[in-house]
Amino acid sequence: ALIFSHAFCSFVACPPQQKNTCAHNSTHKAHANGIKKAKRSKFVSTKGMDPKFLRNQKFAKKYNGTKRRHDDE
């Protein structure tokens, strides 16, 4: 019979662990560092959007007048 010790397991693949799989333990682990809301992105991804629309957006952002109005002051 083979005896698996921690030192032996670090070098050779061990059988899968059979404990700590109950729902009670999972919720404990999940709440250990706190359950946080997903980060919300600042900008919507333009990947896969219509190229014609994106080209127009680029020029709209470039020439919307905020920079020129700021320079006049």
pTM over 0.95: no
Q: What is the model's pLDDT at position 5?
A: 55
Structure tokens belonging to residue 12: 């050779």
Q: What is the model's pLDDT at position 54?
A: 97
Tell me if 17 sits within 8 A of 6, measured CB to CB.
no
CA atoms within 13 A on the CB side of 34: 3
Q: What is the model's pLDDT at position 17?
A: 62
Q: Mean pLDDT, consecutive 10-residue segments, the chain of 73 residues? A: 53 61 84 93 93 96 77 55
Q: Which helix (H) or strand (E) holds 2?
A: none
Which residues are CB-neighbours of 4 under 8 A, at least 6 positions away? 14, 15
Q: What is the model's pLDDT at position 23?
A: 82
